[in-house]
Amino acid sequence: MWDTDPRKPGTSGGCNGDETELPNAIEMSVSRDFGKTWSNPITIAKPRGKKVYWPWVVAGKAGKVSVVWYQTDKVVDLDCQTAKTSVYNATVLNATSRHPKIHVVNAAGRVIHDDDVCQGGTTCVATGQDRRLGDFFTNAIDPRGCVLIASGDTTIKGIGGTERPTSLPIFMRQNSGPGLKGKSCGPKSRRKHRRHRHKHRHGQGEEEHPPAAAQR
C-alpha cells in the first residue's frame, strides 16, 4: 500500500524548487502466496485535482480490506503549501480477484486540517512546520469487521479561537454497509453506542471526540 508522487518535468512549483506536483494515487498490491509474489498495482483512489497521502490498510476475511487516507481539496506540495485535508475510506471486496469492488466514502464528512503538513518527521520540530497531524492516523476493525478510524483533528480551536499546539483525537466508526468479516455494520451497533456518538449528515460514519477532560 502506497501513495504515488508524480511530478511535471521541467517545472519548479514544488517546495525548494522541486518539480510541480501532479494528481497522484493510492495503490495496493496483493499476494496470494504469503509474499512470494505480488500482483500488479491496483488503484484504490485517484481523485481528479486532489492529493492523497499517508494510506493505511487493515484486513478482515480473505479478500476484504479497508484502506484509509488523507485527501486534500487541491493538488499542492504539502510540505510548504496549504490545503484542506479530509479523511477517506475505501472498502475493498474481492481484493484478490482481477476485478475488486471498491467503495469510497468521505469518512468524517468534513475537513480535519487546513494548513500545510510537514513531511520531515521529527525535523519538523526544528523547522517549525505544521506536523500536528503527526502519526496518529490509523484504522482497525471491531469484532464484526466494522471499520474504526483514528486521526488527529486540528480544526478545533483553543481558548479565544487560537491555534492549538497539538491536534485533538478524532474517532470514526462505520455504522452501515458490509463489514470486513461478512456481517452488517447497521442499526444494532448504532443503538448500542447511541449515547456516545455524534452522527454526521455526510459520509458513511460517525465521529466522536473524547470529553473535555480527556482532551487536555
DSSP one-letter code for 80: T
89 or 194, greater pLDDT: 89
- The model's pLDDT over 39-78, given as tens digits with 9 standing for 90+, comes to 999 999 999 999 999 999 999 999 999 999 999 999 999 9
- Cell 480490506 -> residue: 65
Q: How far is CA 25 from CA 48, 120, 181, in A?
A: 10, 21, 27
Mean pLDDT to the nearest integer, 8-35: 95
Mean pLDDT of all residues belonging to the chain: 88
- The model's pLDDT over 22-46, given as tens digits with 9 standing for 90+, comes to 999 999 999 989 899 999 999 999 9
Counting other chains too, the contacts that 2-9 makes at CB distance below 8 Å and 24 or more residues apart are: 2/26, 2/27, 2/55, 3/27, 3/52, 3/53, 3/54, 3/55, 3/69
Which of 25, 27, 184, 173 has its CA nearest to residue 95? 27
- Percent of the chain at pLDDT exceeding 70: 87
6 in Cβ contact with 18 (< 8 Å): no
